[in-house]
Structure formats: C-alpha cells, structure tokens
Homo-oligomer: A and B are copies of this chain.
Amino acid sequence: MTAQDRLTMSLGEAMFTQRAIRRMKPDPIPVEDLHTIVDAAVKAPNGGNKQPGRFLVLTEKPKLQEFGKLYHEAWWAKRRDHEGWLSPADVPSDNKNYQSAMKFADEFKDVPCVVLALAPAGTQLQSVMPSVQNLLLAARGLGIGSTLTMLHPQVIDRVRELLAIPADVDIMCCLPLGYPRGNFGPTSRLPTSQTTFFNAWGSPPPWK
C-alpha cells in the first residue's frame, strides 16, 4: 500500500487534534510507518524543488539514551537563557505547558524514535519547515505523537558528534516520535478574528 493510501485520516481531524504529545509509550514505531511519514514529509513545497531537507531518524537505543541526556541539558539551557530558571523549583507550578515540557525533558531518553530535520547550512527554513509539518500530520494520521522542539546551541557540537552530522549541515528542529500515553485532542488558540487582518495590518477580518 502506498503512503498516500495509508494516510486516510481527514485533514480536519489531523489538524484539529494535533496537540503536542509529551507522554510517550516506549513501544517502537514500525519501519513501515516511518517510511510513510518521511514519504509524506518530502511532498511539501520547497523553493525551486531543490529539496534541501534531509531527515535523520534515530532508533538505536544507546544513541537515543545519549541523545536524551543532551536534550535534557538543552531544555534547561533554554530555560536559563529565556526565563532565568535553573531548577524545577523555578518553573511555575500552574504553568501546565512548562511543567509537562520539564517532565518530558526527563523522559526524553526513553522515547522510541527521534527525527532531526537537517539542511545545508544557510538553507531558508521556508524550504524545510513545511516538510516538518507534513511529517507531524502524517504521524498524527498513524496515531503517532510528537512535539516540535529545538535544540539549544550549547549541545549542538555533541549532537553532531553523536550522529556524525557535518559542520556544514544545519539542525532545524528535533521531533521525538512515540505512541501517546493519553489522547490526542483539541488545542487552545487565539480566535482567528484577532490574528488575521484583511487588506491592511490591524484591519479585522469579516468574521468574529
């Protein structure tokens, strides 16, 4: 069966239930599903069909464990730089998003798969990120969860070393994949009447 035929979920269901999944089962993802997901990813638009994007799929347990430690360090380095937080006590207990992300940083070493989106240094992200969203939607269509993450510069050299990524290749984002503990479901977003403008910046759309 082709990748196209396997992705039977509707756009509506996939897009409107694509919440960040950060609680994952350790169960491995079948290679056939990874193949389908990557086949869908590369179909997204890219400038001049030059196809600069590359995907590195990490499934080997010892490397995943090693990578998970680097992810944990990177997550805390981001919190230090962006919010000034140094330890769990600094993370607001009522911020569900950050509490969940902090816990995920601890558990990251046990995810069954990580995909890195890569491209030659200097590639415009406009030519790679649409593929990443296809990848995430295709995963959702197969019942596989993820969350779009980025690595802190502090760990990049060690990630390169672990995965033999050349210095002239950029790491654009990091996508853990796994079957969810818990459910997919709706996300909360600002109403589009507040985030969309018609014909001039600040001019509201013709809907509420």
Contact = CB atoms under 8 A, between A and B. Distances in A.
Interface of A: 2-16, 18, 20, 31, 34-35, 38-40, 42-49, 51, 53-60, 63, 97-98, 118, 124-126, 129-130, 132-134, 136-138, 141, 147-148, 150, 163-166, 169, 172-173, 187-190, 192, 195-202, 205-207
* 7 closest Cβ pairs, A-B complex: A129-B129, A7-B12, A130-B133, A133-B133, A125-B125, A4-B12, A7-B11
A1 to B, nearest CB: 10
Given A31-B206, A190-B42, A130 B125 contact: no
Contacts of A57: 196-199, 205
A31 B148 contact: no
Given A134-B133, A163-B200, A163-B201, A42 B195 contact: yes
A18 B45 contact: yes
A163 B197 CA distance: 10
B189 A43 contact: yes
Contact of A58 (B16, B53, B54, B199): B199
A44 B18 contact: yes
Contacts of A16: 3-4, 40, 43
Contacts of A4: 12-13, 15-16
A90 B49 CA distance: 20
Given A7-B11, A51-B189, A198 B59 contact: yes
Contacts of A20: 45
B136 A45 contact: yes
Contacts of A129: 125-126, 129-130, 132-133
A202 B164 contact: yes
B56 A40 contact: no
A165 B3 CA distance: 41
